[in-house]
């Protein structure tokens, strides 16, 4: 059993992670899952949750938390008139289908496999964050279907496997096609809504009836952790929105990229 001091330390880590996740939700248009999943993985390990379900529970719980966080962030950005509603409408089926595909994979993949996927995508996204240049372009206009639909499906798939809101992936896509970064960030908050809601139900389904889940879990979602984190993220998300419209984010991109590489290294080490 974990010691009381360990539980206090991890409760503080949860609170800090919730605060950072809320700020990131507004700042980058992401749900903060890249922060939350590694913290949850450590927490569930401390609580002696079975390794077979530990990563799945971390991802599913992260997606549950992203639901209100992304909605709050999206509504805040929409008030500023920065959201590309046309792009969101075009992805209303493609992104959720990608997330549901991820849920099907999660239902059959091992914990190690899920960690490997998280690490690989974190490496790619981390490198992208470190090397990002605003003048990189693939075109001057966001492509239409079928390319747009495939991209939406991939964003939903990869985000669902990682337990993230898809903001970094959508930001990359939109800015590579000449969209302003503030519009990309604002629209990503809406993409997070399209990811988190089907992801929540998908991971509940994927883990339904699975043995070794801790108390207060429905499938791969632990509601006790959700209840502890959501109030913090909701309070601080608007702060991230204000920062997104006021700051040069390059240094934060570098810091976030380095964090992702460290997380990837941690998960790869756990596979050895």
What tokens does 198 get?
Answer: 């089907």
Q: What is the pLDDT of residues 35-94, one digit of tens each?
A: 788 888 888 888 888 999 999 999 999 999 888 888 888 888 888 888 999 999 999 999
Give the Cα separation of 58 and 185 in Å (integer): 25
Q: Which two tokens stand for residue 49?
A: 């949750």
How does pLDDT run across 157-185, given as a tens digit for each residue?
999 999 888 887 888 888 888 888 778 88
Which pLDDT band holds residue 120 (cuts at 50, 70, 90)? very high
For the segment 131-135, the average pLDDT, to the nearest whole number, is: 73
Pairing mode, strands 221-222 and 217-218: antiparallel
Taking the C-alpha atoms of residue 14 and residue 25, their distance in angstroms, rounded to an integer, is 16
Domain count, the chain: 1
Rounded Cα gap, residues 170 and 237, in angstroms: 19
Tell me how far apart the alpha carbons of residues 53 and 33 are, in angstroms, rounded to a whole number.
18
pLDDT digits (tens, 9 = 90+) for 239-263: 776 776 676 667 767 777 787 898 8
Measured between alpha carbons, how far is 243 from 248 in angstroms, rounded to an integer? 9
Query: Which pTM does this prediction carry?
Result: 0.85
Q: Which domain holds residue 10?
A: 4-271
Contact 197, 37 (CB under 8 A): no
């Amino acid at each position: 059993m974990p010691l009381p001091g360990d539980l206090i330390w991890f409760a503080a880590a949860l609170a800090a992670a919730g605060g950072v996740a809320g700020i990131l939700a507004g700042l980058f248009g992401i749900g903060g899952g890249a922060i939350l999943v590694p913290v949850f993985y450590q927490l569930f390990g401390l609580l002696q949750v079975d390794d077979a379900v530990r990563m799945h529970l971390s991802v599913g719980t992260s997606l549950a938390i992203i639901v209100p966080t992304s909605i709050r962030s999206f509504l805040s950005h929409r008030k500023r008139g920065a959201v590309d509603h046309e792009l969101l409408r075009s992805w209303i089926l493609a992104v959720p289908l990608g997330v549901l595909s991820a849920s099907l994979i999660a239902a059959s993949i091992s914990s190690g496999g899920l960690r490997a996927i998280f690490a690989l995508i974190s490496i790619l996204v981390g490198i992208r964050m470190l090397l990002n240049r605003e003048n990189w372009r693939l075109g001057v206009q966001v492509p239409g279907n079928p390319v747009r639909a495939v991209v939406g499906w991939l964003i939903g798939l990869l985000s669902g496997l990682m337990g993230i809101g898809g903001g970094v992936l959508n930001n990359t896509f939109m800015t590579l096609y000449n969209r302003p970064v503030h519009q990309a960030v604002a629209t990503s908050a809406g993409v997070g809504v399209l990811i988190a809601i089907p992801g929540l139900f998908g991971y509940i389904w994927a883990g339904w009836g699975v043995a070794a889940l801790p108390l207060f879990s429905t499938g791969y979602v632990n509601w006790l952790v959700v209840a502890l984190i959501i109030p913090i993220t909701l309070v601080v998300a608007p702060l991230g929105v204000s920062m997104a419209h006021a700051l040069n984010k390059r240094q934060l991109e570098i810091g976030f990229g380095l964090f992702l590489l460290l997380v990837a290294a941690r998960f790869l080490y756990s596979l050895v």
